[in-house]
Amino acid sequence: MRHETVDTLNRKADKAELGFWLYLMTDVIIFASLFATYLVLRNNTAGGPSAADLFEPRYAFVETLILLTSSFTCGIAAIAFKFGKKQLGLGLLMATIVLGTAFLTLELLEFGTLVREGHSWQASAFLSAFFTLVGTHGFHILIGLIWAAVTGGYIMSNGLTRNAVRKFTLFSLFWHFLDVVWIFLFTIVYLLGELS
């Protein structure tokens, strides 16, 4: 933005950040509604297997570790960019993408196993709710991965401009948010499922 003053640029970054926070709040409501649905339908297994029969908390724990690590690399990348260390930041962003992809792969593998064993989303209300809740999170991760790649490409071609840093800040907010959602998912679906 060739001629714009620092002042208007700051104002813009401010606005974008507030808008993005508000968007995240709406996403919180989306997940809250899905969690509520899951909790209501959790025991409606239609005579089929329940959460305790199907889920393996240790598997989900590995997924959790991977996602938490990716959040960590993403956080460090933000710091690196702030200090102008472009190469380091890009490397860490790459690591985030790899870890995120690994997470998504594990999730899809789990889905695949369930479906192959005859426990697809069509089997019961409980499984519909499970696939939808976890799938929605996974879909967000997919969007996040695309976004990360685009932001990385932008930084590579445009350098660490104010705009680039701003875009990255928004992405990292999103990524941390997905991490928090996953913690709830892990607790409510996998840990609580084991207890019931």
Residues near 131 by beta carbon (within 8 Å), at least 6 away in sequence? 111, 120, 121
- Residue 156 binds to another protein (criterion: CB under 8 A): no
Q: Which of 55, 81, 103, 126 binds another protein (CB under 8 A)?
A: 126
User: What is the smallest separation between the CB atom of 61 and another protein, expressed in angstroms?
Assistant: 28
**Stretch of 28-36, 73-81, 91-99, 108-116 lying at the interface with another protein (CB under 8 A):** 28-36
Q: Select 66 or 164, whichever has its Cβ closest to another protein.
A: 164
**Stretch of 41-49, 79-87, 88-96, 108-116 lying at the interface with another protein (CB under 8 A):** 41-49
- Residue 97 binds to another protein (criterion: CB under 8 A): no
User: What is the smallest separation between the CB atom of 129 and another protein, expressed in angstroms?
Assistant: 7
End-to-end CA distance of the chain: 57
The structure tokens listed for 42 are 């959790």
User: What is the smallest separation between the CB atom of 127 and another protein, expressed in angstroms?
Assistant: 8
- Residue 122 binds to another protein (criterion: CB under 8 A): yes
- Residue 159 binds to another protein (criterion: CB under 8 A): no
DSSP 188: I
Binding residues with another protein: total (CB under 8 A): 39
22: exposed, middle or buried (C-beta count within 10 Å: 0-12, 13-18, 19+)? exposed
- Residue 65 binds to another protein (criterion: CB under 8 A): no
Binding site for another protein (CB under 8 A): 1, 3-4, 8, 11, 14-15, 18-19, 22-23, 25-27, 29-30, 33-34, 37, 40-41, 44-46, 121-126, 128-129, 131-132, 146, 150, 154, 163, 167
